[in-house]
Amino acid sequence: MISSDPLEPGSVYAASVDDEGMVGLYRLEVGCSGGTGKLRLAGGIDGVLKESIQRAFGYLHANKVRLSIGQDFDTTDFHVEAIDLLQNRVSCECGVALIVAIISAIKRLPVQAALVILGDVSIQGNIKGVRTLVEPCQLAMENGARRALIPIENRRQFLEVSGDVAERLDPIFFGDAPVAANKALGIT
């Protein structure tokens, strides 16, 4: 399900774990059209997923100048679709993935191939780690991921993943959203 080929700019894979330990795996797709900096969500985005996307978009709006996307952001409307790859209806906290997807779409740069993004973000830009790394990393690896963008606060938990996963899934740690976007897009 996770392609080994690079996705189109604006598309990313995201994984999350809910309160019951179930894993959600999504492909977020962001399309751009001329506009005034509005967020437009496709049907079917609700609950935790919708809240996470709206928080991340609020962070982007507040920090667009610092992220060097201000002018493009203000003249673009962003159309977001979230495709539930497992079709298990597990909601996904995917704020970091949305930030990366929008920056990817604006800069017209694809994210690294076979990359899954973990973590959420608060409206002020504080990174929220995932509850556990074991299940989302295992599931992502089984579905084709070769690397995972992981919040730095989850670094110790990477020691809990199986040897097979640790050998086949390269962790890329980040401490804030701009660093996450740069690492995902291969910008140093």
Q: The pTM is what?
A: 0.96
pLDDT tens for the chain, 188 residues: list them: 999 999 999 999 999 999 888 999 999 999 999 999 999 999 889 999 999 999 999 999 999 999 999 999 999 999 999 999 999 999 899 999 999 999 999 999 999 999 999 999 999 999 999 999 999 999 999 999 999 999 999 999 999 999 999 999 999 999 999 999 999 999 97
What distances in angstroms separate CA 50 from CA 78, 114, 137, one per listed residue? 14, 24, 23
All structural domains of the chain with their residue ranges: 11-185
11-185 adopts what CATH topology? Ribosomal Protein S5; domain 2 (3.30.230)
CA distance linking residue 150 with residue 173, whole number of Å: 5
